[in-house]
Structure 1
Amino acid sequence: MAELLYRVGRFAARRPWAVVAGWIAALALAVGAFVSFGGTLTSSMSIPGTETERVTERLTEELGELGGGTGTIVFRTEDGSDFTEAQQGDISAMLAEIDGIDGVADVVDPFVATSDRAEQEQQLEAGAAQLDEAQRQLDEGSTQIEAARTQLEAAQAQLDAAIAEAKSAGTYALAAAQFAAQQAELDAGAAQLEDRRGELDAGAGELAEQRAQLDDARVLMDAASEIRTVSEDGATAIGVVMFEDDVFSVPSEVVEAVSDELDQAEIDGVQVDYYSATIATAVEGLIGIGEIVGVALALLTLVIMFRALLPALLPIVSSLVGVGVGVAGSLAFSGVVDMSSATPVLGMMLGLAVGIDYALFIINRHRRQVLAGVDVHESIALANGTSGNAVVFAGSTVLVALLALNVTGIPFVGVMGTVAAGCVLVAVLLSVTLTPAMLGIIGLRIVNRRARGQIGHESHARPELKPMKTSRAFARAALAVGALLIIAIPALSMRLGMPDGSSEPVDSSQYRAYTSAAEAFGAGQNGPLLVTAALPAPIDEDDVVAVQADLAGQLLEQGGVVAVAPVGVSEDRDFLAFQVVPIGGPSTESTEQLVHDLRELSPIGDIELGVAGQASGNIDISEKLAGVLPVYLALVVGLSLLILVLVFRSILVPLIATAGFVLSLFAALGAVVAIYQWGWLGPVFGVHTPGPVLNFAPIILIGVLFGLAMDYQLFLVTGMREAFVHGVPARTAVVAGLRNGRAVVTAAAIIMVSVFGGFIFSHLALVRPLGFGLAIGVLFDAFVVRLLLIPALMHLLGEKAWWLPRWLDRILPNVDVEGAALERSHPIHGAATEAGDASSDDVRHADEPVR
């Protein structure tokens, strides 16, 4: 590989414009593909096989209109007064325009919904009055019947007495016909009374059924009483846009059409905001002021390191081209692959950071060689074959870690890892092709004018190296481990979730919509649940309301429920759906507990319940991610040990390197929890509403920090190993390797922290904790673990650090990361190389014996 990269570097240095033109063409092709085929990004995520996914599929199958994506629009009067008729008319007209957009299934007009609810309440009141009147009439009829029955009984008694008297007097035969007629008349009256009683009883039964139906309807109305579309003070209203497609499939042109309509809305005296966390969002705003500041800090670091502007610009230019190719190329597939809005941002973060760092390693090596008097083209080729070889190997570790995210079985995490890996791959290719080409273009201007006058004459002699004191090594190790463990303590209480609208920037439409809705209608309005009821058999149409009322009452009895409303019934009436509004917002612990309680409530008799909705989906995703974290961490640790054993041919060095990575990882997670979940230093980092840690942040941090930790481990400890195998005493070799690589690793880490830190203030809530976690993770790993802890432990271990069983030494391949074989085949007279520096005579004269 080193020899191949040597030839690539020489070709690029001699034909630089051909290489530059090739990358410009690649950039144009990527941008063109994105413009032609790019689709939609979404902040909604799903995992196949979760309970929410299963319920959603059944819900879409039974009640298709409830399966589409939705968006919430919040209208608020600017002076806090009631909406005027004119304002209501303008809002209704605007919603009607949105309803006419192709791809929009329906809209909910808040004022129409409120009017419909008031009408339903009036109908219930009128129905109750009618039933009361009917009951009064039944009661009067019953009283009349009883009075008539009393009269009949009195007449019957008189007739019976007359008949008895006639029989006693012996005159019955003379009056028998008259008595029979009177008896027939009385019997007819009794029969009429019985018929009337039957009618009244039938009416009473029908009235009881109607009253039961009315009571059920009243139960449903009361259960949904807290679900409103216009606030009690009349100053806030909520409208809903329902799309024909699901959250991942809403076409970008539909989203843009709705967004344009809302952005252009000018309703006098009304603030219009919309919260789109549950629908697809168009690609926009991937670069903000924070990201620009981060790149500027990286440039400043490079200028200070190189003491010249032109060579400092090369890594920036190379990384920007890489980001353009990688991000645009990946977004070209967003039309066929579901991508979250954080996916291209993660690719951008890594593309910028590793692109700058990898170019820096090659440029720094070339610059040192030029100062030592090496021919420019030969120096470029050699730097590409040595440091470039290390870059390829280091980039490969990052690629493996990111691609390993696919083994989690979580599609959107796998897509994020694949896109980020693609951006890293582009950064590596650029580093070993475009960087040598640009170095060939600038020639000797790689060093400043003053330094060019000293080329070949600069002294590279270094002071004698001495190993650090053992007591100091103990102190360094104890300080590093103690500090990282303390910082990691908050990670023990880490709770995963998805940020809601309250986490958005306070000046954003999403934040205003979320907080306005929470203040006017309660926090649960922003995260309603969908609860489904699968009945064992279809029910009669007359029984639907009764079953709904019974289920609504049982759901309302659960702790943490504010309101329940029926929202759908399947055609064959064996599947019901309810909207359940929780007390807390979608990311609160109370809502999480409610989801579990509702699932544990099933079955109710023989009715199976299901829970879906955005909040439920986020909870399922968070639990799934928490479950795969240990598995992925174990995989990464295993990869770490394997790679490091191959590179360093040691057992203990990989163990302490991996332990250091785990320490820095948990310290980074602890810092993320303290800032974003506990709210410490919230104003500094723009955290105005603490909440759960972004659910996919830990697994992304594991993958990315592992790759970067291995980078720094390679660039530092390979120098130690190179010095040791050249005969330098083990403890002195630690200092030699540290001196050889700490400047470039320090600069690289500062650049990483600057680039990642620039995303801390991104406008995307999904990105900010990722930027902070990566920045603080690199800070801990580079400066505390690699530059402080690892050298101290290597010193304490001494020669034991490089112990390897003989049988393992025989079967392991020789991995030449630094391209030492290339240096031997292309010797440079008078130039101090990395290995030469590490094994110079002043090092060999240390107080420990040479191996």
Structure 2
Amino acid sequence: MATFLYRLGRASFRRRWLVTGIWAALLIAVGIGALGFSGTMSNAVSIPGTESQQAIDHLKKAFPEANVGGGTARVVLQAPEGEDFAGSPSAQAELQKVVAALNGAPEVVGATDPFQTKAFSREGDLALVQVSYSKQAFELTEGDREALMAAAHSSSLAAEVGGDATRGSPETGATEILGVAVAAVVLVITFGSLLAAGLPLLTALIGVGVGMSGLLVVTGFTELNANTPILALMIGLAVGIDYALFIVSRYRGELAGGADHEQAAGRAVGTAGSAVVFAGLTVIVALAGLTVVGIPFLGEMGVAAALTVVIAVLIAVTLLPAVLGFAGEKIQGRLRGLRGGPKPGRTGMGERWARFVGRHRVATLVVALAGVVVVAIPAADMQLGLPNDATAAPGSTQRAAYDLVTEGFGPGANGPLMVVVDTQGADDPQGAITATAQRITDLGALPMPPQTKGDTTIMQVIPKTGPSDVATEDLVADIRAAGARVHDSTGADIAVTGQTAANIDVSEKLADAMLPYLALIVGLAFLLLMLVFRSIIVPLKATLGFLVSVAATFGAVVAVFQWGWLTDLLGVESTGPIMSMLPILLIGVLFGLAMDYQVFLVTRMREDYVHGTEAREAVATGFSHGARVVVAAALIMTSVFAGFVFAEDSLIQSIGFALAVGVAVDAFVVRMTIVPALMAMFGKAAWWLPRWLDKILPDVDVEGAKLLEYGNESGGDSDERRDRIPVSV
């Protein structure tokens, strides 16, 4: 691996115009493709095979008039103060005006008339109009949403509008630039040079440009979830900057050691680049593993993010050495007052910290683990769900509509269920329908008058509790159990669907997939790390340390987004159940990123150990070489993710916060505190590997040891044959 990458780095350096031209042409090509082929993206969350999705598919064929799956809106109209709709002719006329305007809005299939549906509050001052669309909510344009708002406000009545038809695709705002700005400052301080700091930013932005443009091209041919490109942007920026940071840092070190520029580029890519490749592989494995959990939208998010990591790795080992060729001697330049590293002959902060941890390893472990446990405590109270108007920002029309519906019609009216009765195999169809309605009533819910077409009957059911309440989830399970009993006695098939039931099914499927997915990626990564470090203990500590990071991250997310701690400071406008897709997505992303620092830090420890340094001493010396760059990388990745906390979409906020906290905890608490303490505690035993296993494992040479003999083995030039300096990440 190291030899191949060494040759690739030198070739890219020598043919820098060709390599740069290829990447520029690719960026232009996908950019033009994005302009010409990009399509719409979906906010829809569905999982084939769930009962709710099967019922929706059945209704689309047997009862298309029901318009199941189309966008919906709830318009709440309020009579003037002191009046009610029953006794005020003027309020009635204004209400009819709004209903007519809504029926005439673009893409609207129909708007219910409250006088026909009896949708008035008990006091008579609130009226509820249900609006159905011919298209799914994500297919509606901004013009369609504006027309909806205009129709709702076309009278003198106060109006609030909720429902999925009001929610557009999530967007990233200018606040994410703050993360990149912080990254730039960290890079300048780390390198002491504007040019050296700018190269990782430049190559990362090129990689993100290629990846994001490619995703936009894909949207012209297939439907993607609207959160897919945002996740890809997060990951692409973070790893793109980090991977380039490691290689540029090594390149400058090689130059300082006396190598010429071409050799320095080759060595940097052969050593630090090897670690980048394997660190990238762990991220790719974790993200691509999302495809095996049986959740299509999550799988596509994982694949898209994994592809951005592939691009980041390719750019780091090809375009970056080419750009270094253009930088010349200026790459070593220093800004006045910035050293970019410890003075020669002085012990760096990283080595001093590693020796302190090694001397006080037991106390360090106890304190670090105790702190993580405290942060993780809220995770025991985690509740999962999908977004609805209850989690909309206070003051928004969606939140106001939700609150008015709750006040006037009960919380269940915000998330009605739809019960589908298929009587094709029933001996007594009407008896089956009646029995179903009676059982629903016995459960405490309110079934509305049924609608029948052929063998299919649908009835709307109003729960007593809101769509995110545990009691509503229990009600769905109880109705399904009652439906099974109706099936046994009548032969009719009963199913529960609707947005609320679908959200419950999705959350349950995601929760069920979490442990198998965790086992999959941990198992694969354990094998990969065993291959890299040729040890049993080191990969085991790495994976257990990841579980510690995940527990702490879940605890922090629950404390902020569910309990409401620090919401004012972080700009979080609403709290509620944690997005059901967040835990499994976080596991995949954070695991890959966590392994980056494991590879970058521990690789040098192993190198020093295999070159004769005593095991505990190798922890300190190896840590000293990578600590400064790993700290910079962790700060960069944390700041990039933290920038997304200020996005408008609550899912993006929670993902950004979770990844920022997760990276910070994993880098500074686990990898830079717990790992060196454990390495010092185990000593030589940390590198134990059974002989039989050592013989069958291929030697991937991540440390670049073969570069010491590269010149003699390959017949290289005399400079290569004289190359005998130690290699490291």
- Given that 1:80 and 1:235 are in contact with CA atoms closer than 8 Å, whether structure 2 keeps it comes out as no
**Any idea what SS the aligned residue of 2:278 has?**
helix
Deviation at 1:737, TM superposition (A): 1.2
In the alignment, is residue 590 of structure 1 matched against residue 471 of structure 2? yes
Deviates more, 1:57-66 or 1:799-808: 57-66
**Any idea what SS the aligned residue of 1:578 has?**
strand
Instruction: Report the Cα distance in structure 2 between the residues aligned to 1:445 and 1:233, rounded to whole angstroms.
Output: 76
**Pairing 1:351-366 to 2, within 5 Å after superposition:** 351-366=236-251
- Sort the Cα spacing of 1:578 and 1:242 in 2 relative to 1 into closer, same or farther, 3 A: same
Instruction: Report the Cα distance in structure 2 between the residues aligned to 1:777 and 1:357, rounded to whole angstroms.
Output: 16
Deviations 1:605-624 (A, max 9, x none): 41442100111111111111
Instruction: Report the Cα distance in structure 1 between the residues aligned to 2:722 and 2:160, rounded to whole angstroms.
Output: 68
Deviations 1:205-236 (A, max 9, x none): xxxxxxxxxxxxxxxxxxxxxxx267855356
- Given that 2:170 and 2:649 are in contact with CA atoms closer than 8 Å, whether structure 1 keeps it comes out as no
- Sort the Cα spacing of 1:550 and 1:802 in 2 relative to 1 into closer, same or farther, 3 A: closer
**Pairing 1:716-795 to 2, within 5 Å after superposition:** 716-795=601-680
- Given that 1:494 and 1:693 are in contact with CA atoms closer than 8 Å, whether structure 2 keeps it comes out as yes
Deviates more, 1:721-730 or 1:231-240: 231-240
**Any idea what SS the aligned residue of 1:240 has?**
strand
- Given that 2:76 and 2:405 are in contact with CA atoms closer than 8 Å, whether structure 1 keeps it comes out as no
**Pairing 1:543-562 to 2, within 5 Å after superposition:** 551-559=436-444, 561=445
- Given that 1:495 and 1:693 are in contact with CA atoms closer than 8 Å, whether structure 2 keeps it comes out as yes
Correspondent of 1:564 among 447, 458, 462: 447
Q: Rg: which structure is higher?
A: 1
Query: 1:238 corresponds to which residue?
Result: 129
Q: Which amino acid aligns with 1:582?
A: P
**Any idea what SS the aligned residue of 2:458 has?**
strand
Deviation at 1:60, TM superposition (A): 2.2
Instruction: Report the Cα distance in structure 1 between the residues aligned to 2:494 and 2:45, rounded to whole angstroms.
Output: 23
Instruction: Report the Cα distance in structure 2 between the residues aligned to 1:388 and 1:760, rounded to whole angstroms.
Output: 31
Query: 1:203 corresponds to which residue?
Result: none
Instruction: Report the Cα distance in structure 1 between the residues aligned to 2:33 and 2:250, rounded to whole angstroms.
Output: 36
- Given that 2:254 and 2:267 are in contact with CA atoms closer than 8 Å, whether structure 1 keeps it comes out as no
Instruction: Report the Cα distance in structure 1 between the residues aligned to 2:37 and 2:246, rounded to whole angstroms.
Output: 36
- Sort the Cα spacing of 1:645 and 1:683 in 2 relative to 1 into closer, same or farther, 3 A: same
- Sort the Cα spacing of 1:296 and 1:734 in 2 relative to 1 into closer, same or farther, 3 A: same
Q: Which amino acid aligns with 1:566?
A: P
- Sort the Cα spacing of 1:90 and 1:477 in 2 relative to 1 into closer, same or farther, 3 A: same
Instruction: Report the Cα distance in structure 2 between the residues aligned to 1:238 and 1:825, rounded to whole angstroms.
Output: 76
**Any idea what SS the aligned residue of 1:107 has?**
strand
Instruction: Report the Cα distance in structure 1 between the residues aligned to 2:240 and 2:79, rounded to whole angstroms.
Output: 48
Instruction: Report the Cα distance in structure 1 between the residues aligned to 2:502 and 2:109, rounded to whole angstroms.
Output: 23
- Given that 1:73 and 1:272 are in contact with CA atoms closer than 8 Å, whether structure 2 keeps it comes out as no
Instruction: Report the Cα distance in structure 2 between the residues aligned to 1:431 and 1:276, rounded to whole angstroms.
Output: 45
- Sort the Cα spacing of 1:595 and 1:833 in 2 relative to 1 into closer, same or farther, 3 A: farther
- Given that 1:497 and 1:587 are in contact with CA atoms closer than 8 Å, whether structure 2 keeps it comes out as yes
Deviations 1:449-499 (A, max 9, x none): 5689999xx846758989557650111111222222232233233332212
Query: 2:110 corresponds to which residue?
Result: 107
**Any idea what SS the aligned residue of 1:590 has?**
helix
Q: Which amino acid aligns with 1:601?
A: A
What is the root-mean-square deviation of aligned Cα atoms in Å? 3.3
Query: 2:230 corresponds to which residue?
Result: 345
| Count of matched residue positions in the alignment of Structure 1 and Structure 2 | 706
Deviations 1:273-316 (A, max 9, x none): 6445379x76562x213312222222221122122333222222
Deviation at 1:663, TM superposition (A): 1.1
Q: Which amino acid aligns with 2:98?
A: I
Instruction: Report the Cα distance in structure 1 between the residues aligned to 2:550 and 2:338, rounded to whole angstroms.
Output: 46
**Any idea what SS the aligned residue of 1:586 has?**
coil
In the alignment, is residue 817 of structure 1 matched against residue 702 of structure 2? yes
Instruction: Report the Cα distance in structure 2 between the residues aligned to 1:81 and 1:370, rounded to whole angstroms.
Output: 82
Instruction: Report the Cα distance in structure 2 between the residues aligned to 1:410 and 1:585, rounded to whole angstroms.
Output: 26
- Given that 2:537 and 2:687 are in contact with CA atoms closer than 8 Å, whether structure 1 keeps it comes out as yes
Instruction: Report the Cα distance in structure 1 between the residues aligned to 2:251 and 2:337, rounded to whole angstroms.
Output: 14
Query: 2:383 corresponds to which residue?
Result: 495
Instruction: Report the Cα distance in structure 2 between the residues aligned to 1:567 and 1:321, rounded to whole angstroms.
Output: 57
Query: 1:139 corresponds to which residue?
Result: none
Q: Which amino acid aligns with 1:51?
A: E
Instruction: Report the Cα distance in structure 1 between the residues aligned to 2:671 and 2:538, rounded to whole angstroms.
Output: 12
Deviations 1:49-79 (A, max 9, x none): 1111222222222211222312214355697
In the alignment, is residue 259 of structure 1 matched against residue 145 of structure 2? yes
- Given that 2:71 and 2:164 are in contact with CA atoms closer than 8 Å, whether structure 1 keeps it comes out as no
Query: 1:522 corresponds to which residue?
Result: 410
In the alignment, is residue 91 of structure 1 matched against residue 98 of structure 2? yes
Q: Which amino acid aligns with 1:670?
A: G
Query: 2:583 corresponds to which residue?
Result: 698
Deviation at 1:521, TM superposition (A): 3.3
Deviation at 1:792, TM superposition (A): 0.3
**Pairing 1:618-697 to 2, within 5 Å after superposition:** 618-697=503-582
- Given that 1:278 and 1:614 are in contact with CA atoms closer than 8 Å, whether structure 2 keeps it comes out as no
- Sort the Cα spacing of 1:437 and 1:513 in 2 relative to 1 into closer, same or farther, 3 A: farther
Correspondent of 1:396 among 281, 294, 298: 281
**Pairing 1:213-292 to 2, within 5 Å after superposition:** 228=119, 232-234=123-125, 237-243=128-134, 245=135, 252=139, 254-262=140-148, 267=154, 274-277=161-164, 283=169, 285=171, 287-292=172-177
Deviations 1:102-123 (A, max 9, x none): xx361215xxx123246xxxxx
Unaligned runs of 5+ in 1: 119-227, 839-851
Q: Which amino acid aligns with 1:765?
A: S
- Sort the Cα spacing of 1:599 and 1:538 in 2 relative to 1 into closer, same or farther, 3 A: closer
Query: 2:600 corresponds to which residue?
Result: 715
Instruction: Report the Cα distance in structure 2 between the residues aligned to 1:729 and 1:502, rounded to whole angstroms.
Output: 59
Q: Which amino acid aligns with 1:74?
A: V
Instruction: Report the Cα distance in structure 1 between the residues aligned to 2:439 and 2:627, rounded to whole angstroms.
Output: 66
Instruction: Report the Cα distance in structure 1 between the residues aligned to 2:516 and 2:170, rounded to whole angstroms.
Output: 35
- Given that 1:322 and 1:427 are in contact with CA atoms closer than 8 Å, whether structure 2 keeps it comes out as yes
- Sort the Cα spacing of 1:325 and 1:276 in 2 relative to 1 into closer, same or farther, 3 A: farther
In the alignment, is residue 54 of structure 1 matched against residue 66 of structure 2? no
Query: 1:6 corresponds to which residue?
Result: 6
- Given that 2:265 and 2:321 are in contact with CA atoms closer than 8 Å, whether structure 1 keeps it comes out as yes
Instruction: Report the Cα distance in structure 2 between the residues aligned to 1:779 and 1:624, rounded to whole angstroms.
Output: 29
Q: Which amino acid aligns with 2:145?
A: S
Instruction: Report the Cα distance in structure 1 between the residues aligned to 2:380 and 2:308, rounded to whole angstroms.
Output: 33
Deviation at 1:551, TM superposition (A): 4.3
Query: 1:192 corresponds to which residue?
Result: none
- Given that 2:421 and 2:457 are in contact with CA atoms closer than 8 Å, whether structure 1 keeps it comes out as yes
Correspondent of 1:611 among 468, 471, 496: 496
**Any idea what SS the aligned residue of 2:617 has?**
helix
Deviates more, 1:586-595 or 1:329-338: 329-338
Query: 1:29 corresponds to which residue?
Result: 29
- Sort the Cα spacing of 1:504 and 1:24 in 2 relative to 1 into closer, same or farther, 3 A: farther
Q: Which amino acid aligns with 1:501?
A: D
**Any idea what SS the aligned residue of 1:580 has?**
strand
Deviation at 1:633, TM superposition (A): 1.1
- Given that 2:601 and 2:622 are in contact with CA atoms closer than 8 Å, whether structure 1 keeps it comes out as yes
Instruction: Report the Cα distance in structure 2 between the residues aligned to 1:452 and 1:686, rounded to whole angstroms.
Output: 36
Deviation at 1:709, TM superposition (A): 1.5
Query: 1:69 corresponds to which residue?
Result: 70
Correspondent of 1:477 among 338, 348, 365: 365
Deviates more, 1:22-31 or 1:794-803: 22-31
Q: TM-score, normalised by structure 2?
A: 0.88
**Any idea what SS the aligned residue of 1:339 has?**
coil
Instruction: Report the Cα distance in structure 2 between the residues aligned to 1:229 and 1:39, rounded to whole angstroms.
Output: 41
- Given that 1:78 and 1:269 are in contact with CA atoms closer than 8 Å, whether structure 2 keeps it comes out as no
Instruction: Report the Cα distance in structure 2 between the residues aligned to 1:487 and 1:806, rounded to whole angstroms.
Output: 41
- Given that 1:374 and 1:828 are in contact with CA atoms closer than 8 Å, whether structure 2 keeps it comes out as no
Q: Which amino acid aligns with 1:591?
A: T
